[in-house]
Chains A and B, each alone.
Chain A
Amino acid sequence: MALYSETVMDHFQHPRNVGEMEDADGIGEVGNAVCGDIMRMYIKVDNGIITDVKFKTFGCGSAIASSSMATEMIKGKPIEEALELSNKAVAQALDGLPAHKLHCSVLAEEAVRAAVKDYYDKNHIAYDPAMFGCDSCAHEHDHAPDGE
């Protein structure tokens, strides 16, 4: 199918880290069923490192692929690095997404941040609330990388 890159199709058909986590340290859920995408991300944190990630996604092929790619990109990384994960980086790692599907990569970025925020909240770790300002409906954002 020409709609998606081979990498997107690979992550859609063979999603990495799909599932739930019983003892998650942080859980983030973004999107809503009315919009047609929901991502739930679970993280396990040890000494500031994200040691395990799992996700569940309701959404189109690129939403599933974006979730899968985002989990691969943050697994084994320090939390600070995970917070720097941008939607653009997710889309690029997927070898691009169609313009009208870029919101899926935004959702993946937001799911990671929501999971980290939940971890901070649960562990009473202080943070600057401005870091997590971005929690409205992903569709309204214009995060389109240049040239797409």
Chain B
Amino acid sequence: MYVYADNAATTSVSKTALEAMLPYFTEEYGNASSLHTPGQRAAEALLKARETVAKAINADAREIYFTGGGSEADNQAILTGAVLGARKGKKHIISTAFEHHAVLHTLEKLEKEGYEVTLLPVHENGVVTAQDVAAAIREDTALVTIMMVNNEIGTVQPIAEIGAVCRERGVLFHTDAVQAVGHLPVDVKALNVDMLSMAGHKFHGPKGVGALYARKGVAVANVIEGGQQERGKRGGTENIPAIVGMAAALEEATANLDHDMAYVTGLREKLIEGLSKIPHSRLNGDREKRNPGTVNFCFEGIEGEGLLLWLDAKGVAASSGSACTSGSLDPSHVLLALGLPHEIAHGSLRLSVDAWNTEEEIDHILQAVPEVVDYLRDMSPVWDELERGVTPHLI
């Protein structure tokens, strides 16, 4: 048995999405900007997809801008906030220390261009509060950007409350909802957001396509200059097959949302209960304020990469906050943001399941993980010292 438990990284394209896409590679290959019939048929497909995506998040079709993925949508939203703020002399941006790099690196770039960025510290449970945001807002705050669901640990942020604070203070608010859309109810009006990012491949749509929601009245800034596509806000011929596929996947995910949330939450709880039995392990992030499918554990005395390689060999695809996999030697910035010491943060495991996973697969994971943890601990000098009491256990 090989279990794919890395759905927060990416998902398989669903049959519905694939079938919706296929005609747009061959028969329906028109350019949506062309005046002829094939072009106009492509334009119709584009409009229909826009309406579908808008409906899924309770927005208007004119508020949806298709992008080349979640990162591009994040870049565009932040740039929009920066440009609009600068026009009023406001150059302060608030975010959190555990955002996705699409956000953090965009903010670093803006800092070099003279913007001031406040990264809110994250509470130990992996959540920031509306009070934290309220306290950080200044006269010159141009934008608040806070993710809805953290990609590594799965904690859900109080977006509606943060949005209410931003509205009251007249500050533009963006949320990176890449890990939320298709997995949790996302209603842009209820959430009080001005901008929201999503990515198709996180909910069984194709890769390389995403969308930015920008509330009517928010003048979106361009990241890619070009033609009049996306109402002049994103140049480049639209990727119609991918856009159609993302819309079909989102429609499907939204229709099944209530059922899937309950089912996936059940799988997640079973995972948490099973993994908690491993001695000196800890669940990272709030137990309750968590999206349905993401579980992140630290196991003391071992390093994450070895865990992942062994799990792969035993038939479990997982991921780690461990740096080793990302080409950097630093442990996860997310786990460090929670206040975990480096030596603990090195031994983390993220399992992200969704409605495509089964109970039997969870059983397989729960058999494999303790075996691998035991094996690696057995050859770990760190574990050796912890067990002999030379150094104290931190978990």
Task: Tell me whether A57 and B342 are in contact (CB under 8 A).
Answer: no
Contact of A34 among B312, B323, B343 (CB under 8 A): B343
Q: Across the interface, do B346 and A36 meet the contact criterion of CB distance under 8 Å?
A: yes
A58 in contact (CB, < 8 A): yes
Q: Mark B116-130, 1 if CB is under 8 A from A, else 0.
A: 000000000000000
Q: Are the CB atoms of B379 and A36 closer together than 8 Å?
A: no
Q: Count residues on chain A whose CB falls below 8 Å from chain B CBs.
A: 30
A34-B342, A100-B329 in contact; A61/B382 too (CB < 8 A)?
Answer: no
Q: Within 8 Å CB of B324, what residues of A? A: 36, 60-61, 101
Partner of B328, one of A1, A34, A100: A100
What is the CB-to-nearest-CB distance from B355 to chain A, in angstroms, rounded to a whole number?
27
Contacting B at CB under 8 A, from A77-131, are 98, 100-101, 103
Cα–Cα distance between A29 and B382 once the two chains are bound (Å): 11
Query: A12 to B328, alpha carbons, bound, how many Å?
Result: 20
B263 close to A (CB within 8 Å): no
Which of B310, B313, B329, B384 is close to A36, meaning CB atoms less than 8 Å apart? B329
Task: State A1–B313 Cα separation when bound (angstroms).
Answer: 10
Residue from the list B303, B310, B379 in contact with A37, Cβ < 8 A: B303
Q: How many angstroms from the CA of A12 to the CA of B381 in the assembled complex?
A: 16
Chain B residues lying within 8 Å of A101, measured Cβ to Cβ, are 324
**A18-B379, A56-B384 known; A33-B329 Cβ under 8 A:** no
What string of 1s and 0s marks CB contacts (under 8 Å) between A47-70 and chain B? 000000000111111011000000
Task: Give the shortest distance, in Å, between A72 (CB) and chain B (any CB).
Answer: 16
Contact A57 B380 (CB under 8 A): yes
Residues of B within 8 A of A100 (CB): 327-329
- Do B380 and A56 have beta carbons less than 8 Å apart? yes
**A64 surroundings in chain B (CB, below 8 A):** 306, 379
Using C-beta atoms within 8 Å of the partner chain, give the interface range for chain B.
20 to 34
Contact between A33 and B346 (Cβ–Cβ < 8 Å)?
yes
Residues of B within 8 A of A37 (CB): 303
Cβ of B383 within 8 Å of any chain A Cβ, yes or no, is yes
B305 touches A33 (CB 8 A): no
A55 CA to B17 CA, complexed, in Å? 51
A-B pairs with beta carbons under 8 A, tally: 73
Point out the residues of chain A lying under 8 angstroms from B310, CB to CB: 13
A112 CB, nearest partner CB in chain B, Å:
15
Q: Are A58 and B312 in contact (CB-based, < 8 A)?
A: no
Bound state CA distance, A139 and B384, in angstroms? 24
A19 vs B381: C-alpha distance in the bound complex, in angstroms? 10
- Asked if B163 is an interface residue, CB under 8 A from chain A, the answer is no
Is there a chain B Cβ closer than 8 Å to A39's Cβ? yes
Interface: A74 (CB within 8 A) = no
Chain A 6-38 interface 0/1 with B at a Cβ cutoff of 8 Å (1 = within)? 000100110100111000000001000111111
**B302 on interface, CB distance cutoff 8 Å:** yes
Residue pair A39, B381 in contact (C-beta under 8 Å) = yes
Known: A36-B324, A103-B329. A60 touches B306 (CB 8 A): yes
Residues B381 and A56 in contact, CB atoms below 8 Å apart? yes
Is B331 part of the contact surface with A, judged by Cβ < 8 Å?
A: yes
Given A1-B312, A33-B342, A33-B346, also A59-B329 (CB < 8 A): no
CB-based nearest B residue for A55: B379
Is B309 in contact with chain A by the CB < 8 A criterion?
yes
A38 to B358 CA separation, bound complex (whole angstroms):
38
Q: Is the CB of A38 within 8 A of B381?
A: yes
What chain B residues lie within 8 Å of A34 (beta carbons)?
A: 341-343
Most chain B CB atoms below 10 A, which of A15, A36, A64, A103? A36
The CA of A12 and the CA of B304, in the complex, are separated in Å by: 14
Cα–Cα, bound, A20→B304 (Å): 22
Contact A56 B379 (CB under 8 A): yes
Most chain A Cβ neighbours within 10 Å, of B304, B328, B343: B343
Check A33–B309 contact: CB distance below 8 A: no
B322 at the interface (CB under 8 A from A): yes
Min CB distance B316 to A, Å, is: 14
Alpha-carbon gap, A62 to B278, bound state (A): 25
Taking CB atoms, residues of chain A closer than 8 Å to B327 are 98, 100
**Residue of A18, A58, A100 with highest tally of chain B CB at under 10 A:** A58
The 9 closest A-B pairs by CB, nearest first: A33-B343, A60-B305, A60-B324, A40-B381, A58-B382, A56-B381, A34-B342, A58-B380, A36-B346
> Could you tell me which A residues sit within 8 Å of B by CB distance?
1, 9, 12-13, 15, 18-20, 29, 33-40, 56-61, 63-64, 98, 100-101, 103, 139
**Which residues of B are interface residues toward A (Cβ below 8 A)?**
301-306, 309-310, 312-313, 322-324, 327-329, 331, 341-343, 346, 379-384
**19 pairs of residues in contact across A and B, judged by CB atoms under 8 Å:** A9-B309, A12-B306, A19-B379, A34-B342, A36-B324, A36-B329, A36-B342, A36-B346, A38-B380, A39-B381, A56-B379, A58-B303, A58-B380, A59-B306, A60-B303, A60-B304, A60-B305, A61-B305, A139-B329
